[in-house]
Structure formats: structure tokens, C-alpha cells
Chain A
Amino acid sequence: MESLFLLIPLSLVLVLGILVLFGWALQGGQFDDLEQEGERILNAEAPTLDVDQVEEAGGPEQFGVARKRACTDAIVPAGDPSWRQPPT
């Protein structure tokens, strides 16, 4: 069963790696305030569009975008009537 000479040490290295990674996460505060993190992805103010959707001349109707914008333009503030948030 010679392959075990490879597999067992490899698995131990892997377990060590996993423990180091877990330790880093714990120390780095990854596990602080967990319930809030679950809700963060539902945050409606987060940006939703990508570079190809924020461009000049004519936008996809289904997003309800009144006019396209150049990449360098500022993202329109939430109160602007010419801009409707696409589905999140």
C-alpha cells in the first residue's frame, strides 16, 4: 500500500494548511458579527452594473435605464428621476 507514503503525509500537510487558514481567519476577524454579514449581500445600495452596461447610446430596456452613461461619468445619485435601479 505504498501510495499511502504519499497520501498520508500529503493529507497531514493539507490538514496543517487548513488549520493555518482557519487561524488566520479567526485572528483576522472573519467570524465577528456574523448575522450582519449574511444580510450584507442584500444591501440595495451596492453597485449592480458592470462596465459593459454603463456606456453611451441606448441601453437594454429591461433594466429601465433611461439613458446610457460613459464609464467615466459618476454613478447617478439614488434620487435622480432619470435613473431607475435595475433588479438586484
Chain B
Amino acid sequence: MATATHLTPTSALHANAAVASEAVYADTAVRVLSLAAIVWGVVGMLVGVIIASQLAWPELNFGIPWFSYGRLRPLHTNAVIFAFGGCALMATSFHVAQRTCQTRLFMPKLALFVAWGWQVVIVAAAISLPLGMTQGKEYAELEWPIDLLITVVWVAYAVVFFGTIARRKIRHIYVANWFFGAFILTIALLHIVNGAAVPASFTKSYSAYAGVQDAMVQWWYGHNAVGFFLTAGFLGMMYYYIPKQAGRPVYSYRLSIVHFWALIFTYMWAGPHHLHYTALPDWAQSVGMVFSLILLAPSWGGMINGIMTLQGAWHKLRDDAIIKFLIVSLSFYGMATFEGPMMSIKTVNALSHYTDWTIGHVHAGALGWVGLISMGTLYYIVPRM
């Protein structure tokens, strides 16, 4: 074969005892993180129901500060994004990297540190946020000591993931791993830049940025958190588990690569659409709007690629529950990535900003895309563990 120069012939995988120790994966961290994802999904969504109820019945804060909407809302967002979503991403990236590289996870004990270290971060968030410790930046509320722990855990995560890729037995890096890799690297960059703060005490720090500058950095971070944590990472998930469950290869592998590069490039510039008609300079708002509109194309490329993977296997949608979760999640992905660019248009944003429409849009993407793809994926993984 012309491609991989050190691909292990498939017949040798079965026969050779020396290969056996390399061919057997290390999935303990995957198990821990899959279970954690399920638990935090329930917790995070429960907090979501509580705060949603408080919007209708404010007395549900019971008059105590730890139960107030302002403190519980970031608990909800952090729990569903970083606890539920984060554990699902870590579990699946470890699961997928091993199987697509046909090699054991790099440093499985470090992977366990990542898994349990991340749980410590989550618990620290669950304690500190209701206590009112916050940096006041959306999806970056956690105070600086926890931010430091996140950095340590994230570096370890990158080491395990990229180490596994580096030790691959197949020369080609499967497209899902490109999405996971971009997610890991970009989140590291975003976390460090947006998290820059001056500590005043152990529980309080002040952002290194101020005013509209801080707003710009914050929403560069915030939109890329959505674009890389909630989109690129989960597209990585999608590109492995849909083909595996459908038993069909990705509809167009070429398209998957093209839309990957287009997506990661374009997402970086969409942040200003959170700041329309604010003090942010007009030209910056226009850049955000234009790139958000362009973003519709690579996003829908991913959606079409995933759904069309079922070509020749549409009948599986009738009876296979896992496929239903995975494909419906893509339809929500399509909806949210159409709605988003529309809402990025300044005239539309003048109507939608500061209304519940923004929350509605987030939940179409978060519950519809992220939630359903995670559920379908967990249904795939858990019986195999």
C-alpha cells in the first residue's frame, strides 16, 4: 500500500503475542470520565431546571445567597459545559485516539490524573460558585486558584492525547483527532489569555483587562469556547461514532478535512457578534458579523457530511436508538449554526440581544447538538466498557 509506511498488517494483529501488549487499549480513564459525564449531566441540567424555575418563581431562591440566581447560573453553565461536556470530550478523545491510532493510550496513569484532576476542578466550582466567588466573566467565572488547576490538568490532557497520536501505528491521523487536537490546543490558548488576572486574595482576583477591551477579550474567549469546546470537540466525536455505529465510512472524507480547516480558521473571528451596538468599535462588530455569516458554510459542511454518512444505511434510523441520537443531534447542529449566523446580523441582533432568544439559541445547540451527540456516544461506549 502506498500510504502508511509502518502499518501493522492486519493478520499479524491476531497472531503475535508481542503485538498483543501494544494492541490492547487502556480505557480506565474512559470509564471514569464516561460515568462522570453522566453524573454531571444530571447535576448540571438539574441546576438548569432550578434556575429556569426561579425565573418564573423568584421565591425559589429561598432567600439565601447560595441559592440565588446570580450564583447558580454560572454553576449551571460550568456544570453542563465543562463538567458534562468536558468529561464526555475527554472520555471520547481518549477512546477515539487509541482506536484510530491503533495504539494504547500514552501514559495511562497521567490520563487518570487528568480524569480525577478534572473532577477536583468541578467540585471546586460547585463549592466556590454558590459561595459567590466569581471573576464575573461568562464561562470563565472560576477564580484564579481553580484556573491554575485547570491549566495543570489541561497540560496533562494535551500530553496524553498528543502523546497517543505521536505513537500511532497508522501514519494517517484520522480526521476526528484533528478536531480533538484543535479543541485541546485552542482551549489552552483561550483559557490562558482570558484568565489573565491580578489576584487580590485567595478567593478574589481582577481581570488584567478592563472596560471594552475586557469585553472584546471575554467574547473572543466566549465564542471560541462555543466554537472549539462545544463544536470542534464534539465534531471529533461525531466523525468517529457516526461511521462506527452506521457501519459506513464518512460520506466525504475530503470534505471533512476541508471544513475542518475552514471552521477553525473562521471561528476565531466571530466573537464580536456578542457585542453588537455596544462600545466596541463598529468595524470590529462588522468583522464579527461577516465571519459569523461565512461560518455557516463550514458548519453545514460538517452537518451534511455526518448525515449523508447514512447513505445506504438510512433504514438504520428506524430501529437503532443510538443512530437516532447521533443524527438528530446533527439536525440541531444545523439549526443552531443557521440561527447563529442570522442572529449575528446586526439588525437581527438589535432585536435578539438581551432577550430569551439568546438563551433559546444556546439551548438548541447545547441540548440539541451537544446533549444528544453525547448521549448517543455514551450509549455506544458504555456497553463496550
B254 at interface (Cβ–Cβ under 8 A)? Answer: yes
Q: A45 — which chain B residues lie within 8 A by C-beta?
A: 10-11, 13-14
- Pick from A39, A41, A54, A62: contact of B100, CB below 8 A: A41
B123 at interface (Cβ–Cβ under 8 A)? Answer: no
CA of A1 to CA of B13, assembled, Å: 59
- Pick from A10, A51, A75, A86: contact of B193, CB below 8 A: A10
Q: Mark A27-53, 1 if CB is under 8 A from B, else 0.
A: 011111111111111110111111110
The reply to whether A43 and B264 form a contact with Cβ atoms under 8 Å apart is: no
Q: B6 — which chain A residues lie within 8 A by C-beta?
A: none
Q: Looking at the assembled complex, report how far the CB atom of B316 sits from the nearest CB atom of chain A, in whole angstroms.
A: 14
The reply to whether B249 and A29 form a contact with Cβ atoms under 8 Å apart is: no
Interface centre among B19, B24, B248, B250 (most CB of A within 10 A): B24
When C-beta atoms are compared, the residue in chain A nearest to B96 turns out to be A41
When C-beta atoms are compared, the residue in chain B nearest to A45 turns out to be B10
CA of A38 to CA of B252, assembled, Å: 8
CA of A15 to CA of B269, assembled, Å: 12
A57 at interface (Cβ–Cβ under 8 A)? Answer: no
CA of A46 to CA of B10, assembled, Å: 7
CA of A72 to CA of B209, assembled, Å: 56
- Pick from A6, A29, A77: contact of B3, CB below 8 A: A29
Q: A4 — which chain B residues lie within 8 A by C-beta?
A: 216, 284
Q: Looking at the assembled complex, report how far the CB atom of A21 sits from the nearest CB atom of chain B, in whole angstroms.
A: 9
The reply to whether B20 and A73 form a contact with Cβ atoms under 8 Å apart is: yes
Interface centre among B20, B99, B174, B209 (most CB of A within 10 A): B20
Give 10 CB contacts A-B under 8 Å.
A4-B284, A30-B173, A32-B172, A37-B3, A38-B243, A40-B172, A41-B240, A42-B248, A47-B23, A72-B21
Identify 19 new A-B residue pairs, CB closer than 8 A, beyond the known A41-B99, A49-B24, A50-B24.
A2-B213, A4-B284, A7-B216, A7-B220, A11-B268, A30-B173, A35-B253, A36-B3, A40-B174, A42-B243, A45-B11, A45-B14, A46-B99, A50-B30, A51-B27, A51-B28, A72-B21, A75-B23, A78-B14
